[in-house]
Amino acid sequence: MPKNVIVYGLSNCPYCIMVKKFLEDNKIVFENKNVGEDKSAAREMIEKTRQKSVPVIDIEGKIIIGFDKEGISKELGIETNN
């Protein structure tokens, strides 16, 4: 079963763009929540993380703040070359 992945991000933030590209490149299906346009998503993200920075990646309840390639890869079983 693929894991349930949510990305909370903003359209102009470089690491949001990069994390989404990284997931797409690795064929990971995820739900994209734009916290700039969707206020309830913003509240949800702040409640989950108690902080205000993006991106936030929620992998079945495991929260990763920022584009932490290693952390995300570990959680999703993605093999990286480094």
Residues lying near other proteins in the complex (CB under 8 A): 10, 12-15, 17-18, 21, 35-37, 39, 42, 50-54, 65, 68-70, 82
- CB closer to other proteins, 20 vs 59: 20
Bridge partners of 5, per DSSP, are 59
12 contacts 55 by C-beta, under 8 angstroms? no
Token pair of 38 as six digits: 């969707």
- CB closer to other proteins, 14 vs 77: 14
Q: What is the nearest approach in angstroms of other proteins to the Cβ of residue 47?
A: 11
Q: What is the nearest approach in angstroms of other proteins to the Cβ of residue 6?
A: 16
**Residue 16 CB contacts under 8 Å (≥ 6 apart), including other chains:** 7, 9, 10, 54, 55
- CB closer to other proteins, 31 vs 37: 37
Among 42, 74, 38, residue whose Cα is nearest residue 64 = 74
